[in-house]
Amino acid sequence: MPPPPPAYAETMTAPPPHSETPRLEALRLETLAGPALAAALPAALADLARLRGAVFAEWPYLYDGDAAYEAGYLARFAASPGAALVVAYDGARPVGMATCQPLAEAHAPVVQAFRRRGLDPAGVCYCGESVLLPEYRGRGAGVGFFAAREAHARALGLTAAAFCAVVRNVNDPRRPAGYLPLDAFWRKRGYRPRPDISCVFSWRELGDDRETPHSLGFWLKDPL
Ligand SMILES: CC(C)(COP(=O)(O)OP(=O)(O)OC[C@H]1O[C@@H](n2cnc3c(N)ncnc32)[C@H](O)[C@@H]1OP(=O)(O)O)[C@@H](O)C(=O)NCCC(=O)NCCS
């Protein structure tokens, strides 16, 4: 029997920022799960939906978001019994967020991506997204998001973690000059690319008049 999903609202401080970045105050991270997540979500929904929309509008997602869709997405996510939401705050203002849930409770195409390769989704934590407003990057929140989600995964008895990222052509003319892919950051957290596991999500890119399909590749950390 897996342990019951933990219920908590836990606060931590993001790890110290990267040594090459100027000394900046670490952001406060709060992990919400179970009834604490259900209780906090209604008041936070609009802010979190806006945050996701703002960050995913950037390269490499170029997502033309819709606040109503975002709010529905977050409400469905929070209904997953094993879900955890990590929010980064500057004072009382949410400036970043990350999500995770047992893979078996995730969006069907994500589960199918594993099943298609003969992989059992049980035991895997799916990290849905991490988004942080650009002006708060380099202060340790990204590392803190992974640490908090992996702690939640272990509390659920999960033994591996995975996420997916959009696959872009490096020669895409929309790629901003000087854009640093996150691959090195993810590798340092212990994740490895699994190009054999992939799925397709459709969304409308900025400037388009309709949704188009986008390929996402998975990264896996096993064991946690
Ligand atoms: C992913 C994200 C949350 C990381 O946030 P962050 O708070 O800047 O990361 P941290 O300050 O914790 O940085 C951690 C480490 O990664 C490094 N790092 C940060 N961004 C990096 C990048 N683009 N490429 C390589 N390394 C990077 C930092 O220098 C630091 O290095 P260290 O481990 O050697 O100390 C942030 O970049 C973001 O919101 N990106 C846009 C959304 C996105 O693409 N999300 C991922 C898919 S959902």
Give the per-residue pLDDT at 153: 98
Pocket perturbation via mutation, ligand 1, pick of 85, 137, 186 by most ligand atoms within 8 A of CB: 137
Rg, Å, the chain Cα set: 17
What are the CA-CA distances from residue 220 to residues 99, 117, 147, 159, 168 (Å)?
16, 14, 15, 11, 19
CA distance 77 to 131: 16
Q: Is the CB of 26 under 6 A from ligand 1?
A: no
- Per-position pLDDT tens, the chain of length 224: 444 556 667 777 676 555 444 446 779 999 999 999 999 999 999 999 999 999 999 999 999 998 889 989 999 999 999 999 999 999 999 999 999 999 999 999 999 999 999 999 999 999 999 999 999 999 999 999 999 999 999 999 999 999 999 999 999 999 999 999 999 999 999 999 999 999 999 999 999 999 999 999 999 999 99
Structural domains of the chain in order of their starting residue, each with its CATH number: 9-16+28-171+180-221 (3.40.630.30)
The amino acid that residue 82 corresponds to is G
Give the per-residue pLDDT at 9: 75
| Residue with CA at minimum distance from ligand 1 atom 26 | 185
Phi, psi dihedrals of residue 200, rounded to the nearest 5°: -120, 125
